[in-house]
């Protein structure tokens, strides 16, 4: 029996007589034979790997581990179903981001980039990828003026709905604690916030937007300033652009003698694990991170399989999750 026949049987391609098929299968069983993925992939000139690029996470995680685990699981499960392996790539602070070499060395057939920032160096590298026709997909980050493949959540709608929710609870002056604008998230959320204020006919001025860096500490550090605004009656609600900042703020406000959910309404974004742990529990915007991961992997693998140059920009819906930190019955204004 020839090598080629065995290959045909094991890959289920080409015409094979049922009888020989059986004999091959039996022999393989007997000899305990499994084909070498290494050799297969070499012969096919395809790595069979989907690369996932993680941003550098300093000791104090600016990104929540929750976010990454969810997205990663989504990608991992989807890739697996489609016969791909997941290559996890950790970025380090100093090193140049030569995503292109990942492809040129044939380590990956496609890659998904997490935590990208809208800065010139990143734009340059992504342009290079696109010019090389290397399949890649960004998660949770858009680049204005570019048509990179993206899977994102509808963050604009999220803060829009958050404002509406707070307004319906009786809040009149809502502060927005945003994150850095290198993340398109931040811009989207800000836009939704302003649209929400307009929709609900609530006042806005630029002093009602503060900026942190998405860390818990940055929320905590702003708590004095925010406590003052609350005590002065200048604001009666806060939306933070992620849960971590909201939690930091909540802890800071408590230390300053203010009760979140009573003296002020508070909402986070992401609906991470932590939102359920605080006292009071934190209202938040639920983002389907797992599905984001699935969509990214699935669409990217489609592109790879079809080797067409279709591109995609997917936006998944989010949902307001109301908990005690913003429930009307709790706070004085209502």
Partner DNA sequence: TTGAAAGCGCTAACAC
Partner DNA sequence: GTGTTAGCGCTTTCAA
Q: CA nearest 64: which of 111, 112, 115?
A: 115
11 or 147: CB nearest DNA = 11
Among positions 5, 73, 259, 311, the unique one binding a copy of itself when judged by CB under 8 A: 73
Q: Which residues of 262-274 are buried (b: 16+ CB within 10 A; e: fewer)?
A: ebbbbbbbbbbeb
Among the listed residues 178, 160, 85, 100, the one whose alpha carbon sits nearest the alpha carbon of residue 320: 160
The helix or strand, by DSSP H or E, that contains position 112, with its residue range, turns out to be strand 110-113
Strand partners, 238: 175, 266
Pick from 25, 27, 43, 277 the residue near DNA by CB under 7 A: 43
Of 232, 286, 296, nearest to 67 (Cα)?
A: 286
| Least CB distance to a copy of itself at residue 77 (A) | 6
11 binds a copy of itself (CB under 8 A): no
From the list DNA, a copy of itself, none, pick the one residue 90 interacts with, judged by a Cβ distance below 5 to 8 Å according to partner type.
a copy of itself
Residue 7, interface with DNA (CB under 7 A)? yes
> Residue 130 touches which of a copy of itself, DNA, none (CB < 5 to 8 A by kind)?
none
In the set 12, 32, 44, 306, which binds DNA (CB under 7 A)?
Answer: 44
Cβ(31)–Cβ(13) below 8 Å: no
Choices 100-108, 139-147, 153-161, 234-242; region in contact with a copy of itself by CB under 8 A: 100-108
When asked if residue 169 is in the footprint of a copy of itself (CB under 8 A), the reply is no
Measured from the CB of residue 291, what is the shortest distance to DNA in angstroms? Answer: 33
**Partner from a copy of itself, DNA, none binding residue 144, C-beta < 5-8 Å depending on class:** none
Quick count: other Cβ atoms within 10 Å of Cβ 10? Answer: 16
- 64 membership: H or E segment, kind and range: none
328: Cα separation from own chain's centroid: 30
Q: Do 258 and 247 form a contact (C-beta atoms < 8 A)?
A: no
* CA–CA distance, 167 with 148 (Å, rounded to integer): 36
Per-residue binding letters, 11-40, with DNA (x by CB under 7 A) = x-xxxxx-xxx-------------xx--xx
Interface with a copy of itself (CB under 8 A), residue from 106, 121, 168, 332: 106
**CA 145 remoteness from chain centre:** 21
Query: Which of 126, 53, 123, 139 has its CA nearest to residue 91?
Result: 53
- Nearer to DNA by C-beta: 24 or 197? 24
- What is the number of residues in the chain? 334
113, containing H or E segment = strand 110-113
27 binds a copy of itself, rule: CB under 8 A: no
Residues 265-324 that bind a copy of itself (CB under 8 A): 273-274, 276-279
Which listed option, DNA, a copy of itself, none, makes contact with residue 110 (CB within 5 to 8 Å by class)? none
Confirm or reject binding of residue 128 to a copy of itself (CB under 8 A): no
Please enumerate in sequence order all residues whose Cβ is within 8 A of that of 104, keeping only pairs 6 or more positions apart, or say none.
Answer: none
**Integer Cα distance of 141 and 32 in angstroms:** 47
262 is an interface residue for a copy of itself by CB under 8 A: no
Which residues sit at the interface with DNA, rule CB under 7 A?
1-8, 10-11, 13-17, 19-21, 35-36, 39-40, 42-45
Which residues sit at the interface with a copy of itself, rule CB under 8 A?
34-39, 41-42, 45, 47, 49, 52, 54, 57, 61, 65-66, 68-69, 72-73, 76-77, 80, 85-90, 92, 101, 104-107, 216, 247, 251, 254, 273-274, 276-279
């Amino acid at each position: 029996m020839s090598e080629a026949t065995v290959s045909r049987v094991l890959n289920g391609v080409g015409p094979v007589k049922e009888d020989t098929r059986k004999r091959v299968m039996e022999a393989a069983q007997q000899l305990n034979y499994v084909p070498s993925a290494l050799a297969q992939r070499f012969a096919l000139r395809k790595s069979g790997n989907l690369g996932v690029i993680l941003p550098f996470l300093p000791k104090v995680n600016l990104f929540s581990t929750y976010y990454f685990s969810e997205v990663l699981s989504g990608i991992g499960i989807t890739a697996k179903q489609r016969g791909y392996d997941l290559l996890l790539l950790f970025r380090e602070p100093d090193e140049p981001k030569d995503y292109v070499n990942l492809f040129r060395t044939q380590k990956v057939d496609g890659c998904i980039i997490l935590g990208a920032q809208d800065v010139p160096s990143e734009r340059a590298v992504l342009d290079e990828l696109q010019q090389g026709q290397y399949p890649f997909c960004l998660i949770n980050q858009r680049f204005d003026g570019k048509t990179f493949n993206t899977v994102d959540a509808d963050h604009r709608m999220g803060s829009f709905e958050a404002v509406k929710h707070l307004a319906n609870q009786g809040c009149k002056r809502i502060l927005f604690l945003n994150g850095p604008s290198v993340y398109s998230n931040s811009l989207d959320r800000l836009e939704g916030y302003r649209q929400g204020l307009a929709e609900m006919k609530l006042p806005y001025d630029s002093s009602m937007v503060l900026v942190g860096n998405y860390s818990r500490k940055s929320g905590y550090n702003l708590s004095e300033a925010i406590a003052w605004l609350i005590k002065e009656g200048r604001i009666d609600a806060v939306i933070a652009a992620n849960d971590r900042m909201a939690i930091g703020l909540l802890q800071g406000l408590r230390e300053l003698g203010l009760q979140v959910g009573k003296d002020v309404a508070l909402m986070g974004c992401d609906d991470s694990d932590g939102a359920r742990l605080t006292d009071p529990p934190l209202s938040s915007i639920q983002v389907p991170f797992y599905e984001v991961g699935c969509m990214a992997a699935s669409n990217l693998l489609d592109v790879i399989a079809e080797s067409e140059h279709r591109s995609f920009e997917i936006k998944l819906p989010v949902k307001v999750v109301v908990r005690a930190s913003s429930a009307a019955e709790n706070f004085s204004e209502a």
